[in-house]
Structure 1
Amino acid sequence: MEQLQTELKALIIEALNLEDIAVDDIETDAPLFGEGLGLDSIDALELGLAIKKKYNIVIDADDTKTREHFASVANLANYIAANKA
């Protein structure tokens, strides 16, 4: 799970062009939106596409739990791990 979390952090940095941020700067349990990493809805779309491309997992934007899945790297990793074939 730790490897997946690290992969996701790298994916976030790459997909969103966060050049000033290192993998170690992203806390696994910190919020990705708001006061945490400060991502916005456009970032969420970009990240969703990157996850689809890398893991072949579609995160439905209309799903009520999507916000929960995107809450932190830990949540995203859990969601991907649970949905990976």
Structure 2
Amino acid sequence: MAELKNLLKQQIIEVLNLEDISVADIQDDDALFGDGLGLDSIDALELIVLLDKQYGIKLADPKQGKEIFASINTLAAFVEQNRTK
């Protein structure tokens, strides 16, 4: 699971062009939106595309996103349970 979390951090940094942030800057339980990384709704769409392309996961209900993208911990757990790739 630690490898998956680090991979997700790297992918988030790359996909969202977070040039000033490194993997070490993102804590597993930090909020991804709001006061944490400060991501916004456009970033959420990019993360949904990332899940689809990299892991074969399609979010059927966009309302799930709030729970799934709460932190790296919640995102990694969701990917672990649902990935098809």
| Same fold per superposition (TM over 0.5) | yes
Quick check: 1:57–1:84 contact (8 Å CA) kept in 2?
A: yes
CA distance in 2, matches of 1:6, 1:60: 25
Q: What is the aligned partner in structure 1 of residue 10 from structure 2?
A: 10
The root-mean-square deviation of aligned C-alpha atoms, in Å, is 1.1
The number of residue pairs the alignment matches comes to 84
Q: What is the aligned partner in structure 1 of residue 57 from structure 2?
A: 57
Amino acid at match of 1:52: D
Quick check: 1:60–1:66 contact (8 Å CA) kept in 2?
A: no
Q: With structure 2 as the length reference, what TM-score do the two structures score?
A: 0.92
Deviations, residues 9-36 of structure 1 (Å, cap 9, x unaligned): 0010000000111001011101000000
Q: With structure 1 as the length reference, what TM-score do the two structures score?
A: 0.92
Describe the shift of the 1:77–1:36 C-alpha distance in structure 2 as closer, same or farther (beyond 3 A).
same
Where do 4+ consecutive residues of structure 1 move more than 6 Å? none
1:52 is displaced (CA, Å) by 1.0
